[in-house]
Structure 1
Amino acid sequence: MKSLEDFMRSDPLQLSFKWPLFPRDSFREEFIIGAWHPSAELQVSWSHPPQSVEILGIRRRNWFMLSSRSPFQSCGDGLAHAASGPLAQAPNREAMEAVAFQGYLLDPPIHSWSKPKDIIDYWLGKHDRHNGVFAAIRVTRGGDQLEFISDAFGLKPLYYREFAGGLLFSTNSRFLVTENDQLDGIASRILMHSQSVYGNRSLTKGLYRVPPGTVIKFRDGGETERKWFSLSSLPTGNRSLTLAGIQEAEDAFQNAMNRCLRLQVAGHLLPLSGGDDSRRILAALHSRGVPFSALTVRTLHKEYRDVDGHWAAVMAAELGFKHQVVELPPPSEFARLDHTRRLLMDAHGCEHTWFLAMHDHMPEHSCLVFDGTGGDVFGNTGFGIERLHTTKDSEKLSMIGEMVIDHVFDRLLSELWWPSAESVRAELLAFLKDLPDGRNKSDLAFLFTRCRSGPAMCAQRLIPAGHVTVYPYFDLDHAYVTLGFDPVEKLPPKTLQARCLAEFWPRYYAFPGSRRIPSESKPGSPKPDQERWLACFKQLQTETRFPFRCGLGTLLTSRAYANSVLIAAHTESSHRARWWLEPLLTLLARRINERACWTVTSDQIDGNSAVAGAVYSTKGLDIS
């Protein structure tokens, strides 16, 4: 009788992929999707994609990759590339069949939509250091080995899971849903406490994110993991921030900007807020005479003051650069955008709900999008709490764990279903356990929790295909310089960001912003924000059939469930329960909207069937 392994080697494994629920609008999502098996031949079919999705697929004997295409390139290359020629079989390199690459590298300058040859040549080589923000998948050893490589700080997400004796992988967890998936209770509780999913879990049990700075290799014999980037190599933050140090930090940032600008992209776009992080990028672009445009979404700060939109417009008028203020749409349209945001984020974040308002105002050509994420880590000390830097190293993570995962949800969530706060906190601390001791320990904890899973995730998922989002503050040389300085000397109001602006760019620094709100600025009305949130809440109600038909009674204590029923009857006052009800309904809506993407089948499958050695290109329903 054949063993299972013999059967898998001699008979093709047939997989079917069906697209998940897509937004109703024309958002062009950017993604990589793939499957690999250590021994079986794969035959993969997929359903017709939505009209807004342009894809390119490649396959060999035991692997398959599907990726989005850029709408701005006439050649139509995707994010996955088959390697061929003498370099791919060079004796001093492992034979590489293919590479999929999303993001960018600075040394040499390549990005998602660079020439395939440049991308292939880089990943054929041996590199001890990868300066950039990216996710890479390599198929080597004639298809017998699959490799995942993440950037130093793990900003670019890449997920994987076991399936049918092999692996499924994607840059977005929403493309990896299978039948009978279960919600991951620990990741879900982290989301409820922090508004995003910290760590390497996902909201689906058994589906994981590739850790930061890591190479994972899979072969028939098992899995190996090594760190290509060592956190212990980072400075501990013992240098005093003198004037010479501020000059050194400024030079490092300007060098980072120069490296970003070497990336060959048609245009430059700056999402400009009222903070110092984007303002330093503004000064760098404007002073160089680089053609760029800036977008500012009019959101309200501190007692509903109009800071971002007002002062960005004033700066643009006085300094002379192309700028547009984007107004948030009416409540019903905002709720529709929020539904789109939740789908694209796979509900892994509840922050930056305004982000998609920029979508219709993006340039109709490929752009470098300059994101200020990381400025609060390297220039503003993350959590901004002095005692997190001065307390004993052995106590820092415990303090952060108690601050992030408190007991407030214990009186609301049913202990029969949910893990305890203690077990969730232990999981978070296990994720952070390898952070090196030193004064920067809490800043690094902020980076790998709030920064990696919050703002960075938004830009990764909500910028449409064809553009390249860059993070100058995460340039490795800049990180090494700025982390060398004592974080206590970067606490507000004398942050490194503010001091660099004041010292080298006083004209830009002089304008008020979210960290320097004028005393004469009058508070605004909370009504517009409340109306938009109420529209989003009603949308969640509709999706989940809240409160009676969504299973909420099994997730909550009896008292909390009774309160939720009262809230449903008086939605106008529901904003008081927003802090706990919104993430909970978000999880339920995700579950209801979830569709199984991958199945195993032995039947003949209709649709597009991938044959070994072929390359497939589709746009909507047109198959070539």
Structure 2
Amino acid sequence: MNGFFTLWKILLLLRVLNNFIYAKMNPLKRNRAAEKQGMLSMNFIGIEASALPYSKGTAPSFIQHSIEGRWALLAHQRINVIDCFGYSIHYVGQMKLPEKPENLHDALRRAKGTFAYYVVQNELLYVGTDPMGFYPLYFTSSQNIPLAFSTSLTHLKRRFKNLTPNWDAWNLMLNGEDLLGDMTTIKEFRRLREGEVLCYSLNPSAVSQRTISFPFYKTPEQVSDDEFIEQGNTILTDVLSTLMGEEENNLIPLTAGHDSRRIANAAKQLGIPFNSITQSTRHATNCDVDTLVGRQTAELLGIPDSRYQHLPMPSNETIITQTLEKDYWTGFETPAHEWSVNMLHAIPRDSLICDGIVGDQIVTNSVYYNFKKEMESASNDTSAIVDFIVKKKNILPLNSVEQERRRSLIEASVKEYIDDEHTMIRHTVFNHTRRNTAAWYYPFLAKGNRVCLPFADLDFFHHGLSMSLDRKRDKLWQRTCIEAINPELASLHSTRDRHSSEYWREQGAAYVPRDKLTFTPEQVKIPKQILMKLERSFSERILDTIGLKLMPNKVIKSWAWRYLPLQRFAIFLDWLEEDETSLPVLSEGTPPFISNRALSSSTVTSFPC
């Protein structure tokens, strides 16, 4: 018996010693016990302490971190904390630090996931995101207002008055283009870019704010077709294992695209548990292709009914209200994605939404696949690329001066990425993909969910650059990569297939009549100052004056392509003028701005502020 206790003591001592050595060797320590207590916050905001009286609605109980009395870091609920080389990294979203980092900043620049963070080191406050910049982070850039930053443009706007519209941003968006670089819809705010970190000095005698850029990618060596397929599938497996492997609330939305089925197939092979959901949508052919293929994918992968949910299309009144909510919670940064908001009805809070929407643009580089002829002539020619972008979308041109301004903005952005044949890819990924395509999930963050974007991982971006463009113009590489693992899954239809409405209905897709949904004249009136900025024909002037006065509903419905963007802009201007500083900091409730204009109950939030 004495020998047994002696052996037990030796083993216990070895275990304690092993844990001590591991702690010394591994500088990354995650507070998992704290994560299990209550819900985590998905947004935070930092405000100069001196500005707190200026910002109404500030409750001391929200303060997570007070730094040197100069900054107040606030979150509605708890924030994740992870220790790295003795420094506490506070973060929201999902962050996985690399093994054996060289130092704190090396760990942050190589971290995986979609996240935003802040950390204090040597009297400096660093605020950043994932290296690719997909988690939103906004900050004040005007000398006329206090220093502040937030993961939500909406929450940042609520803390200030007398803000002004960014006409450059709306000049682009009214013509179907994307926000570029660090611009936002509000002139006084900027968004942190890819490969950047904010640095605020805690020393009163030093420069208060600066932005630090760091190199985070380089064009890799070109690979063969077989290598591209093998490496891509390996990267996906590694990323999903890292980001989804330890999670309990994984959710994979299934659509008719290749991206979502590729993620679901890989997760299934890895034995990672997940739930799935498909939202009915209206395809360009007036058919619900997503439901058709989403259900086929779920059946083929053997996803049980208990883990798969299908949501029908909501009423028109609900869609219009959800469009308003989407605009509000994205800061009016994208005209797309209103269809996704309805899924919030069925998604449990704190879900990790594993979505592939950005994959086609990063892996296949669909701009080359969709516009083969145009891209062949553009190549690395700045002027040709700019011509292609400007001419492709010229929906609501402003006056000639503004049109020239729009071209100069696009040209300056393209020149930032001029280097080799991948210029258009980089420009697309860090503007269209990052600022527009990925913006669908901002309302989901507002309701306490996290997002996992496997194809936005830095390794996948490098992977996308490892194949020459001449091999990307004629093949959908997402489909090809699936085919190497699951040929039957790859053979299912996708939204990339060019078929008629009759064909889709023969395959079993439901027909969804197209209804031109716009806001009602009672919800918003388009001010003359907006119409006056447009370059208009005589007939358009008649529509904008007599038509909107005598038959507003009919005119707006008949020319929805023209008036819906103008309605969105008008609503945005109303939002800027509305004083929301009295709303509680980071409030998740339905704001009066939404409830006063809604045609149905709120989806993003379920209770008033």
Question: 134, 149, 153: which is aligned to 1:155?
Answer: 134
Are 2:483 and 1:502 equivalent residues in the alignment? yes
Matched, 1:291 2:273: yes
Superposition pairs of residues 13-28 of structure 1, within 5 angstroms? none
Seen in structure 2, the aligned counterparts of structure 1 residues 342 and 405 have a Cα distance that, compared at 3 Å, is same
Q: Which amino acid aligns with 1:434?
A: E
User: 1:560-612, CA deviations, whole angstroms, 9 ceiling, x for partnerless residues?
Assistant: 4432245531534535533332222211101112356698xxxxx9999xxxx
User: How far is 1:507 from its partner?
Assistant: 2.4
> What is the aligned counterpart of 2:327 among 342, 348, 353?
342
The AA in structure 1 aligned to 2:491 is: A
Which one-letter code corresponds to 1:347 in the other structure?
F
Q: Find the counterpart in structure 1 of residue 66 from structure 2.
A: 59
Name the SS of the counterpart of 1:301 in structure 2: coil
Q: Please state whether the residue corresponding to 1:594 is helix, strand or coil.
A: helix
Verify the 8 A CA contact 1:33 1:65 in the aligned structure 2.
yes
- The 1:552–1:45 alpha-carbon spacing in structure 2 relative to 1, beyond 3 Å, is closer
Q: What is the rounded CA distance, in whole Å, between the counterparts of 1:537 and 1:348 in structure 2?
A: 18
Q: Summarize the Cα distance change of 1:589–1:323 in structure 2 as closer, same or farther, 3 Å threshold.
A: same
The residue type paired with residue 277 of structure 1 is D
Tell me, yes or no, if the aligned pair for 2:378 and 2:385 is still in contact at 8 Å.
no
Amino acid at match of 2:314: P
Report 1:508-547 matches (<5 A): 508-516=489-497, 520-522=503-505, 528-530=513-515, 533-534=516-517, 536-538=518-520, 541-546=521-526
CA distance in 2, matches of 1:290, 1:172: 31
Report how far residue 299 of structure 1 moved.
1.0
Query: 1:473–1:479: 8 Å Cα contact kept in structure 2?
Result: yes
Partner of 2:256: 274
SS of corresponding position for 1:430: helix
Distance between the aligned counterparts of 1:86 and 1:130, measured in 2?
15
Q: Percent identity over the alignment?
A: 19
> Following superposition of structure 1 onto structure 2, how do residues 115-130 of structure 1 map, counting pairs within 5 Å?
127=108, 129-130=110-111
Provide the C-alpha distance between the structure 1 equivalents of 2:504 and 2:75, rounded to a whole number of angstroms. 48
Q: Can you list the C-alpha shifts for 1:166-186, whole angstroms capped at 9, x where unaligned?
A: 412111222333332221111
DSSP 3-state at the match of 1:316: helix
1:403 is paired with a residue whose SS is helix
Q: Distance in 1 between matches of 2:312 and 2:103?
A: 42
Distance 1:595 1:518, change over 3 A: closer
Residues 304-324 of structure 1 show CA distances to partners (whole Å, capped at 9, x for unaligned) of 122110222233234321322
Q: 1:48 to 1:198 in 2, by over 3 A?
A: same
Deviation at 1:406, TM superposition (A): 4.0
Structure 1 residue 473, shift from structure 2 partner: 1.1
Q: CA deviation at 1:405?
A: 3.0
Q: CA deviation at 1:33?
A: 1.6
User: SS state of the match for residue 216, structure 1?
Assistant: strand
Residues 230-309 of structure 1: pairs in structure 2 closer than 5 A:
230-231=216-217, 233-235=218-220, 238-241=222-225, 243-262=226-245, 264-309=246-291
- 1:471, CA displacement in angstroms? 1.0
Partners of 1:273 and 1:169 lie apart in 2 by 35
SS at match of 2:162: coil
- What is the DSSP-based 3-state SS (H/G/I as helix, E as strand, rest coil) of the residue aligned with 2:343? helix
TM-score after normalising by structure 1: 0.75
Is 2:172 aligned against 1:171? Answer: no
Cα offset, 1:157, TM superposition: 1.6
1:226 match: secondary structure: strand
Aligned pair in 2 of structure 1 residues 551, 423: CA closer, same or farther (>3 Å)?
A: closer
What amino acid sits opposite 2:560 in the alignment?
Answer: R
Task: Tell me what 2:26 maps to.
Answer: none
* Deviation, structure 1 residue 498: 1.0
Contact 1:106-1:132 at 8 Å conserved across structures: yes
- After TM superposition, give the deviation of residue 344 of structure 1 in Å: 0.6
| 2:309 corresponds to | 324
Confirm or deny: 8 A CA contact 1:267 1:368 kept in the other structure. yes
Alpha-carbon separation, structure 1, partners of 2:476 and 2:392: 32
| Contact 1:149–1:214 under 8 Å retained in 2 | yes
Deviation of the 1:302 alpha carbon: 3.6
Change (3 A) 1:589 1:170: same
1:255 is matched by which residue type in structure 2? D
Distance 1:500 1:388, change over 3 A: same
Select the residue among 122, 130, 133 that pairs with 2:114. 133
Partner amino acid, structure 2, of 1:78: I
CA deviation vs aligned residue, 1:226-274 (integer Å, no higher than 9, x gap): 322344x1237x4342x24322222222222222224x43211011110
Give the helix-richer structure, 1 or 2: 2
Q: Which residue of structure 2 aligns with residue 225 of structure 1?
A: 211
| Corresponding position of 2:97 | 107
Query: 1:302 & 1:378 partners in 2: Cα distance?
Result: 23
Helix, strand or coil at the partner of 2:239: helix
Could you tell me how far apart the structure 2 residues matched to 1:127 and 1:408 are?
38
Structure 1 pair 358/67, CA: closer, same or farther in 2 (3 Å)? same
Evaluate the alpha carbon distance shift between residue 29 and residue 204 of structure 1 in structure 2; reply closer, same or farther with a 3 A threshold: farther
Return the offset for 1:445.
1.5
Change (3 A) 1:572 1:325: farther
Q: Does 1:378 align with 2:362?
A: yes
Counterpart Cα distance in 2 of 1:85 and 1:440: 35
Q: How many residues align?
A: 526
- Greater strand share, structure number: 1
Partner in structure 2 of residue 31 of structure 1: 43
Q: Which residue of 1 aligns with 2:16?
A: none
Question: 2: CA distance between counterparts of 1:606 and 1:445?
Answer: 37
Which residue of structure 1 aligns with residue 437 of structure 2? 455
CA shift for structure 1 position 158: 1.0
Partner of residue 166, structure 2: 184
Q: Which has the higher contact order (CA 8 A, sep 6+)?
A: 1
Contact 1:280 1:501 in 2 (8 A): yes
Q: Give unmatched runs, 5+ long, in structure 2.
A: 1-39, 586-606
Structure 1 residues 146 and 431 mapped into 2: Cα distance closer, same or farther (>3 Å)? farther
User: C-alpha offsets along residues 427-481 of structure 1, whole Å, 9 cap, x if unaligned?
Assistant: 2332342325222221112111211111211113434544321111122223323
Distance 2:412 2:208 in 1: 23
Q: How far did 1:343 drift?
A: 0.9
Deviation, 1:510, is 2.7
Q: Report the RMSD for the aligned CA atoms in angstroms.
A: 3.7
What's 1:487 paired with? 469
